[in-house]
Structure 1
Amino acid sequence: MTKLIIEGGRPLRGSFTASGNKNAALPMLAASLLTSEPVTLHNVPAIRDVQVMMNLLEAYGVAIERAGSSVTLTAASLSSRIPDPELFSKVRASILVAGPLAARTGKAELHPPGGDVIGRRRIDTHIEGLARLGYRFSRDTKIRFSRKGPARGTSMLLDEASVTATENILMAATLAEGETVIYNAACEPHVQNLGELLIAMGAKISGLGTNRITVRGVRELHGAELAIGPDYVEVGSYMAAAFATGGRVRFKGLAGRPELDVIGKACTKLGATWKKTGQDLVVDGTRPREIVDDVGQAIPKLDDGIWPSFPSDLMSVAIVLATQCRGSMLFHEKLFESRMVFVDRLIEMGARIVQCDPHRVLVQGPCQLQGIAMSSPDIRAGIALLIAALCAEGTSVIHSAEVIDRGYERIDQQLAMLGAAIHREG
């Protein structure tokens, strides 16, 4: 178990280059199971969840070579053995092996997935979607999918726009006979990035970026090479840190990225804006920030939702940023009932926050936070508490820092290069 020790009160300054999108990397790694030929991915983030996923794929028989931020995966011969359940318990995205394994071999056997405990995260939509393609589901201590005869394309309406369910069904449908139409599909940038890889592998897919995706099945897929797009959640987290600490940071090569428009709208509500300079975005937090009232001087509200709404993964850092802005804002977390459990720590640090119910908090700023000792309950709460520590007066200690490492590459080193007083122990 590791901990981060932070001396707060130092504005972040310098340049930042985004890592590859974690939420794109995980399904794209799993997609290598669909072919016996090599699949090469570039800009793969060096984070714990990615390493766990690669360990899981190796346990299924995938040969993996890594060179810098590039990874080549070859699933020439798959093992019939089921990997250790501990691998599945470490990452929620382990469920993503189900679709490609079932499509390639006719069956998939795995242990229940783990990951962050931020609310009830069911797999019913995965089960129902794969069942529509012809796969039978059974469960005891393991999860099993199997089919008799070929999988067949069909039309289906997902009961929720689940990202991982969309990805699992999308991968399985590439090798199904006929046409599959997925209604109420997730359309996040990482779903699109996965679709781009599948197309490069020979899949016939249309409608990426919309909630209606059409897949025309093919007999087999081949190898491919593709770069993973920048992680907009990581970028949003560092932007929040720059704004909240009163710093100035240049984000390299991100001008014109459409996925950042959603973050920009939320930042504007918080009185925080950036400017384009060539191919870069410059965040300047040196000016005072004031929350912009809604029409009629109503208390402004920021709520999350499915894409292109504000992403739930950035709700925690937005709450911390609001503590450093003048004015009041209501935050409504609609997707996960345990996302806001970390606000108790912010209140302990001196934040003026009223928790209305498990899904809503009212924040009034600005306020001077004080350093405390705390623990990281999940990836996004962990980064939010870390940003709070950067703003705080005095020393903060964040235990279970390895939880943050699951989603953020070299977080202590990156922040230190931007001027933060931070070091790791353990």
Structure 2
Amino acid sequence: MAFLNTFRKVGGKFEVQDDGIRFLHPGGDLDPIVLETGVHPGFMTDWQQPLVVALTQANGLSIVHETVYENRFGFTDALRGMGATIGVYKECLGGTACRFGRRNFHHSAVVSGPTPLEAADIEVPDLRGGFSHLIAALAAKGTSTVRGIGLIDRGYENFQDKLLALGADVWRD
């Protein structure tokens, strides 16, 4: 429910069907949010990276406070290289202090949007970050080159087929 509620707050819609959930964007602006990751039943940290990509297109300032893993915002370097406006901070910018608050970890992000993303050459750093980079590449203007895609292949079943079904122009060297 944490994911569905967050998806709705950002401006998404969904339909529960017999074979799963269909996610939709009804059009219009995406809304900024303030979010903290957490363990179940909270907003899972694995959902944080793709959400940050979406928030680059939201209209205003969003804050994401990562409370589960330290230094989980390394993937944002590539997004900034694509034109995103994202600042990462060592302070707890969410509603509650967390275990990283007195340590030297970048665990909060401020995302300002909307910002148009531009194509880039991207190296997949890890499964979740790489997935987020692919989402950003799909949203970007121009043609991006993404290397190290094998990491994503291992984590997501039939990933290339799903990209093609979305209308992406995908090819491998």
Q: How far off its partner does 1:277 sit?
A: 4.8
- Where relative contact order (Cα < 8 A, 6+ residues apart) is larger, the structure is 1
Alignment of 1:261-340 (within 5 A): 261-277=1-17, 279-291=19-31, 300-340=33-73
Note the residue ranges of structure 2 that are not aligned, 5 or more in a row: 91-105
- Give the Cα separation in 2 of the matches to 1:285 and 1:385: 20
- Give the Cα separation in 1 of the matches to 2:68 and 2:20: 32
2:113 paired residue number: 365
Return the TM-score normalized by structure 1: 0.36
Q: How far off its partner does 1:286 sit?
A: 4.4
1:189 paired residue number: none
- Give the Cα separation in 2 of the matches to 1:330 and 1:399: 29
Please give the secondary structure, in 1, of the residue aligned with 2:42: coil
Please give the secondary structure, in 2, of the residue aligned with 1:384: helix
- Give the Cα separation in 1 of the matches to 2:19 and 2:156: 23
Matched, 1:407 2:155: yes
1:395–1:276 distance in 2 versus 1, CA, 3 Å? same
Contact preservation (8 Å) 1:288, 1:325 = no
1:144-187 deviations in Å (ceiling 9; x for gaps): xxxxxxxxxxxxxxxxxxxxxxxxxxxxxxxxxxxxxxxxxxxx
Percent identity reads: 32
1:243-273 deviations in Å (ceiling 9; x for gaps): xxxxxxxxxxxxxxxxxx2211111221222
Contact preservation (8 Å) 1:272, 1:289 = no
- Give the Cα separation in 2 of the matches to 1:279 and 1:389: 29
- Give the Cα separation in 2 of the matches to 1:396 and 1:290: 24
Alignment of 1:375-390 (within 5 A): 375-390=123-138
Q: Whose helix proportion is higher, 1 or 2?
A: 1
Alignment of 1:218-233 (within 5 A): none
Contact preservation (8 Å) 1:349, 1:372 = yes
Return the TM-score normalized by structure 2: 0.84
Q: How far off its partner does 1:279 sit?
A: 5.0
Matched, 1:419 2:152: no
One-letter amino acid matched to 2:150: E
Alignment of 1:11-90 (within 5 A): none
1:12 paired residue number: none
- Give the Cα separation in 2 of the matches to 1:384 and 1:339: 12
Contact preservation (8 Å) 1:376, 1:382 = yes
Note the residue ranges of structure 1 that are not aligned, 5 or more in a row: 1-260, 293-299
Please give the secondary structure, in 2, of the residue aligned with 1:353: strand
Please give the secondary structure, in 1, of the residue aligned with 2:110: strand
Contact preservation (8 Å) 2:11, 2:25 = no
- Give the Cα separation in 2 of the matches to 1:278 and 1:400: 35
Please give the secondary structure, in 1, of the residue aligned with 2:144: strand
Alignment of 1:85-234 (within 5 A): none
Contact preservation (8 Å) 2:30, 2:57 = no
Contact preservation (8 Å) 1:290, 1:327 = no
Please, what is the CA RMSD of the aligned residues? 1.6
- Give the Cα separation in 1 of the matches to 2:79 and 2:49: 11
Contact preservation (8 Å) 2:13, 2:26 = no
For these two proteins, the number of residue pairs brought into alignment is 158
